[in-house]
Structure 1
Amino acid sequence: MTGRFDIAVVGRGLMGTAAARYLAQMGHRVALIGPSEPQNRATHDGPFGSHHDAGRITRGLAEKADWSRLALRSMARYRELEAVLGQRFYTPCGVMMAGPIAGPAADFTRAFLQAAEALAIPHERLDDAGLAARFPFMRFPAGTAAAWEAAGGWINPRLLRAAEERAMEQAGGVVIDAAAVAQDQSTVTLTTGETVDAGHVVIATGGYARTDRLLPARPDMNVMARTVLLAEIAPDDVARLAEMPTLISMPEDGRMDEDLYLLPPIQYPDGKYYLKIGGEPASPSLTNQAEMTAWFRSQGSAEAAARLQGYLTAILPDLPVQSYHTDTCVISFTATGYPYIERLDDHLTILTGGNGAAAKSCDEIGRLGALAATGQPLAPEGYDTDFKTKFI
Structure 2
Amino acid sequence: MTMEETVYDVCVVGAGMVGSAAAKWLCKLQRETKVCLVGPQEPTKEEWSKREIFSAHYDEGRLTREMDEDLIWATLAQRSIKQFRDIERESGIRIYQEVGCAFVGIQGEDSLQITKENAEKTGVTAYKALDSVGLREQLPYLHIEPNWEFLLNTENAGYVSPRNLVAAQQKIASSHGCQIIDDVVIKVEDTDGDFLKVLCQSGRQVTAKRVLLCTGAFSNYYDLLPGDKKIDFKPMKIFVVKSEVSEEYAKSHADMPCMIINIPGKLSYILPPIKYPDGKYYVKIGGYKVINVASGLEDMVEWFRNEAHHEDDKDTILNILKFFLPDLAPISVRTARCAISRTTTGMLYCDMISTRLGVVMGLTGKGAKSSDEIGRMAAKMVAKGSWDYDLPAEHFKLRFKST
Q: TM range, normalised to the smaller chain?
A: over 0.9
Name the % identity.
31
Residue correspondence of structure 1 range 1-392 to structure 2 within 5 A: 3-25=6-28, 26-27=30-31, 28-40=33-45, 42-101=48-107, 106-122=109-125, 123-150=127-154, 151-185=156-190, 186-216=196-226, 217-253=229-265, 259-299=267-307, 300-375=309-384, 378=387, 380-382=389-391, 386-392=395-401
**Comparing 268-277 and 46-55, the one that deviates more:** 46-55
SS at structure 1 position matched to 2:293: coil
Shift of 1:307: 2.4
Distance across 1 between alignment mates of 2:39 and 2:200: 9
Contact between 1:226 and 1:280, CA under 8 Å: does it hold in 2?
no
In 1, Cα distance between equivalents of 2:219 and 2:251: 42
Contact 1:203 1:215 in 2 (8 A): no
Give the Cα–Cα distance (whole angstroms) in 1 for the partners of residues 222 and 385 of structure 2. Answer: 27
1:59, distance to aligned residue in structure 2 (A): 0.6
CA shift at 1:145, angstroms? 1.7
Retained in 2: the 8 A contact 1:227–1:305?
no
Mapped contact 1:233–1:273 kept (Cα < 8 A)? yes
SS of 2:301's partner is helix
Distance 1:253 1:178 in 2: 42
Name the TM-score, length of structure 1 as normaliser.
0.94
2:214/2:361 contact within 8 Å kept? yes
Contact 1:12 1:32 in 2 (8 A): yes
| Whole-angstrom CA distance in 1 between matches of 2:93 and 2:18 | 20
- 1:249, 1:261 within 8 Å by CA — same for their partners in 2? yes
Structure 1 pair 3/307, CA: closer, same or farther in 2 (3 Å)? farther
User: What's the CA shift for 1:64?
Assistant: 0.3
Between the aligned partners of 1:384 and 1:187, the Cα distance in structure 2 is 27
Q: Deviations over 1:254-295 (max 9, x none)?
A: 6xxxx3111111100000000111013441211311111111
TM-superposed CA distance for 1:73, in Å, is 0.3
Unpaired runs of 5+ residues, structure 2, are 191-195
Deviates more, 1:282-291 or 1:30-39: 282-291
CA deviations over 1:342-386 (Å, ceiling 9, x no partner) = 112122000111110101111000000011102366575146963
Structure 2 counterpart of 1:91, one-letter code: Q
Q: How large is the RMSD of aligned CA atoms in angstroms?
A: 1.8
**Within 2, Cα distance between the matches of 1:222 and 1:304?**
22
Q: How far apart in 1 are the matches of 2:210 and 2:337?
A: 33
